[in-house]
Amino acid sequence: MSDGADGPGGLTAGKQRGAETRLAAALTVADVLGKGRALDVALVQHGTRLTDPRDRALVQEIAYGVLRFLPRLRGYAAGLMVHGLKPRDLDVECLLWVGLYQLDALRVPAHAAVSQTVATARWLGKPWAASFLNAVLRNFQRRRQQRLEGLPGEPATHHCFPEWLAKRLQYAWPEDAECLMQESDRHPPMTLRVNLARLTRRAYAEQLAAVGLTARPLAQAPAALVLDRPVDVTALPGFATGLVSVQDGAAQLAAALLGARPGAQVLDACAAPGGKTAHILESWPGAEVTAVDLSRERLQPLREGLARLGLSARVLAADLAAGRPGDPATADPWADRPYDRMLLDLPCSATGVIRRHPDIKWLRRPTDIAPLAATQGRILDRVWPHLRPGGMLVYVTCSLLPEENHEQMLAFLQRTPDAREQPLEVAWGRACPVGRQVLTGEDGMDGFYFARLTRTAGAASP
């Protein structure tokens, strides 16, 4: 990036571009922490003003990094400042973290990281912040160079999780919690799902190699290839024509558990944005899938994904948690037939996919977990009577918390006389009192929970 002529605000063109990038990153983080916005939504809003894709990529890298390592950055800042900033200066505080993150973790030259972060303060309309940021960032840089001193405020713990969630994970997974939190703070791999209805995994790996991309097969999921480095989907051979999709390895474990014969009626409850719907149809040709989701907006990418892959399903918007507990939902369009198979991939705390969505660490509250578990229980109770006797339900979450996983299953089995666990005889994950858990990072996969239930034959249907 070369500096050119003076631009608005007295900044050279190069500095202006650098300042715009830092500003977009700081405002993205401020929207997540101050307004409770989802990171991907905030990124789109603040990133679209930048025309160069490299600048948008840098905004993304910085915003993800700041949210991943927030406690560490807060620790540094606290060790360098005499007074904390006022809540109304959250934007300046975010800019400080943006500067610290660049100095701590990125290969941006230190002088550029400092001067462009400082220049950004003027764009915020807070000129006082320029000298403040300059002093703090230069102090950090100096202390960092004299590493012997240790970094100011460097936290003792290795993970960067909120305390409440760290405690819950330590309670649930005493031996694995530290490791899984560290895994959750790493960059996730980009994993592909080869469309095995069209070609073999090996054949697709050869197509990747032909364009200079390398990937390794994942033993646990027969269609999965893990790329050595992430790329834009447009660089994937045959993406537009449906040879391949992007889906984490653990998410690819669900479809195989269903075992749906041709003609089987399958309910994919909570289906959007449709990764698993498409995988069911690729894996079980001839299955008749009804894909339901509460969100009409999220059903749009599901429809587009199926069209890209040349697949079709009945797609319906409905609230599966509505109605009185135990009442059959006979008036709902999705409930017009008994189902042989059901996939319930329910809304959850998403604690297993924090490496892909670091904002979850700061958006989730401890008080969210019980209501989420209650919704999961309501959806289970609502759909269960529509499972054909002898039929099978696969329960999935991307949560690491027992309340949403095996405890949910135990409670359901206790209150549902015609439900039985069907144990999973698989070579992945770890056994829970009911079902199995993949912990984040295990075999390179996201954190997911799976259980399988059958409805005893002879049970009455609505």
**Whole-angstrom Cα distance, residue 29 to residue 23?**
10
**Whole-angstrom Cα distance, residue 432 to residue 436?**
5
| Between 272 and 424, CB nearer to ligand SAM | 272
| Between 319 and 443, CB nearer to ligand SAM | 319
Q: How far is the CB of 108 from ligand SAM (least distance, A)?
A: 35
| Between 96 and 271, CB nearer to ligand SAM | 271
**Whole-angstrom Cα distance, residue 122 to residue 132?**
12
| Between 136 and 344, CB nearer to ligand SAM | 344
94 is catalytic: no
**Whole-angstrom Cα distance, residue 240 to residue 7?**
41
Which position among 160, 270, 348, 398 bears the catalytic label? 398
Radius of gyration, alpha carbons of the chain: 25
Name residue, tokens 């102090």: 139
Residues that bind ligand SAM (CB under 6 A): 270-276, 293-295, 298, 319-321, 345, 347
Q: How far is the CB of 358 from ligand SAM (least distance, A)?
A: 17
Q: How far is the CB of 216 from ligand SAM (least distance, A)?
A: 23
Shortest-Cβ-distance residue relative to ligand SAM: 270
| CA 317 vs CA 9, 232, 272, 291, 378: distances in Å | 49, 30, 10, 8, 17
| Between 331 and 460, CB nearer to ligand SAM | 331
Q: How far is the CB of 4 from ligand SAM (least distance, A)?
A: 45
In 3D, which of 241, 251, 343, 243 has the Cα closest to residue 292? 343
In 3D, which of 72, 46, 71 has the Cα closest to residue 60? 46
Query: What count of other Cβ atoms lies within 10 Å of the Cβ of residue 377?
Result: 18
Q: How far is the CB of 125 from ligand SAM (least distance, A)?
A: 38
Q: How far is the CB of 76 from ligand SAM (least distance, A)?
A: 35
Is residue 76 within 8 Å of residue 152, measured between CB atoms? yes
**Whole-angstrom Cα distance, residue 410 to residue 403?**
10
| Between 102 and 376, CB nearer to ligand SAM | 376
Omega before 273 within 30 of 0, i.e. cis: yes
Q: How far is the CB of 345 from ligand SAM (least distance, A)?
A: 4
| Between 104 and 345, CB nearer to ligand SAM | 345
Residues recognised as catalytic: 398
